[in-house]
Structure 1
Amino acid sequence: MSFLGEILCRKAAEVEERRRKTSERELITRASDLPPPRSLAEALSPRGGPVRVVAEVKRASPSAGEIAAALDAPAQAARYAAGGAAAVSILTDGPGFGGALEDLAGARRQVALPLLRKDFVIDRYQLLEARVAGADAALLIAAALSEDGLAGLVEDCAALQLTPLVEVHDEWEVEAALAAGAQVVGVNNRNLKTMKVDLSVSERLLPMLPETVKAVAESGVRTAEDVRRLRAAGAANFLVGEALVRAADPAALLKELMEA
């Protein structure tokens, strides 16, 4: 079984276990009392606009291993907000990433920026969890979903007023994302089979996206030089995680990236 396939099997079991502990009806009730989410799409730049960074909170990853096991997620989110990030991505998957929904809820109490729940979303239940924890947006990975499944979750996001950030890795997935109505598309430079990063993926796929779609270049962006390279391909928004977590001064790196 592939790396992604193993995660999706685990995730399906995890969702059912969480559903047994907290019913969908209870989450719907909690969500109904919340204020409207912030718009991730409005926080991002159009093609050719100024650089915007979605700064990511992550403690580990399968490709990098442990990055910062003791990272305080709310405090890191606050650092990003102070440094000028447009939004904050919170990894909420536990195994392999060291994240939890509690990180998202904690970050919500610290920052007013749009928050993205970054996880392997396969079920509407996870979107409800995200909404209740304070998310404004949710990652949907095209490679993890059928075309119908992706379209259904995009609709579920709309019903919950969450912005879906649809992640793509190849031309077929770009077409699937656009067919599903995605208005924010993330181009992931990481191959989920080999885990290798290749910035030319963004250079190849970004031109396929209509100007009405907000595009986000993901993975492998570490330096101002990387930003300049991908801006030449049409990128204005960048999701940056590991480099910011490892940086001694995340605000200084954010400034450098945004001024590239």
Structure 2
Amino acid sequence: MLADLVAGALEDAERRRADRPLAEVEAAALARPAALDALAALAPADRVKIIAEVKRASPSRGSLAAIPDPAGLAASYQTGGASAISVLTEERRFHGSLADLEAVRDAVSIPVLRKEFVAEPYQVFEARAAGADLVLLIVAALEQKQLVELHGLITQLGMTPLVEAHSADELSRALETGASLVGVNARDLTTFELDRDLFGRLADRIPSGVIRVAESAVKSADDVAHYRAAGADVVLVGEALVTSDPVATLGEFLGV
């Protein structure tokens, strides 16, 4: 599944490149105002922080929510207390787009994450050109050389990489990049199976000074509390918010 998602994302990036060459996207990226400081926004605090996600669909669950107004949803997340917004930009299985990201960036004043299967520099420049402050890097999708190079490019452009792992080995690879923001995804992206306890098994391996993000398997405030008790500084939540009253649910999660 992960290999198919990455291949599709690269094909879609190649199609966009035909209309908008790298030099044009790079110029647009460099012309953007400086990215927001995501590490400051997500720094450990007395309460858990939430990255709230704009997510229409997923390969495991299919359609989740139409979200005709991603900017409005993101604005409600910000009002509700989210520390950052994640925007799915993958088109085929998640029904997202860079236009969603641009609309969200214009609507909020907190950091915005491009959540995509990033595997080449063009996608990183696209992210900055669209206004992203953070870019997701999935360890399982990348060779180590790619991972290090993309991490470096994201940082060079003033953005923050969120480096995502799903095993102890992947976590070691994430930390080798010098990542300051590391996510542990309960969902195995090769099988899409969930393991809510994975974060707890890996959290102690993440050094102090690195912000710890728990991802996936969040349906209720109890799940957020479970991650917080295991040491999560931040929890990324998508499906539970878009399939409910987002502001009320966010309030419950932030009350943990």
TM-score range, shorter chain: over 0.9
Q: What is the CA-CA distance between 1:247 and the residue it aligns to?
A: 1.1
Alignment map for 1:1-260 (pairs within 5 Å) = 3-46=1-44, 49-248=46-245, 250-260=246-256
| Structure 2 contact 164–184 (Cα < 8 Å) conserved | yes
Secondary structure at the counterpart of residue 87 of structure 2? strand
Q: What is the CA-CA distance between 1:128 and the residue it aligns to?
A: 0.7
CA distance in 1, matches of 2:66, 2:28: 31
Q: What is the CA-CA distance between 1:246 and the residue it aligns to?
A: 0.8
| Structure 1 contact 69–98 (Cα < 8 Å) conserved | no
CA distance in 1, matches of 2:172, 2:68: 37
| Letter paired with 1:255 | G
Secondary structure at the counterpart of residue 173 of structure 1? helix
Number of aligned positions between the proteins: 256
| Counterparts in 2 of 1:70 and 1:50: CA distance versus 1, 3 Å | closer
The ranges of structure 1 where at least 4 consecutive aligned residues each deviate by more than 4 angstroms after the TM superposition are none
| Counterparts in 2 of 1:208 and 1:84: CA distance versus 1, 3 Å | same
- Write the deviation string for residues 167-224 of structure 1: whole angstroms up to 9, x where unpaired: 1000011000110111101100001222121111111111110111011100011211
CA distance in 2, matches of 1:70, 1:89: 14
| Structure 2 contact 113–134 (Cα < 8 Å) conserved | yes
CA distance in 2, matches of 1:45, 1:223: 23
- Write the deviation string for residues 142-177 of structure 1: whole angstroms up to 9, x where unpaired: 000011110000000011111000010000110001
CA distance in 2, matches of 1:21, 1:247: 38
TM-score by length of 1: 0.95
CA distance in 2, matches of 1:193, 1:131: 28
| Letter paired with 1:251 | V
Secondary structure at the counterpart of residue 213 of structure 2? strand
Aligned-residue RMSD, C-alpha: 1.2
| Letter paired with 1:27 | V
Task: Point out where structure 2 has 5 or more consecutive residues left out of the alignment.
Answer: none
Q: What is the CA-CA distance between 1:70 and the residue it aligns to?
A: 4.2
| Structure 1 contact 57–91 (Cα < 8 Å) conserved | yes
| Letter paired with 1:102 | A
TM-score by length of 2: 0.97
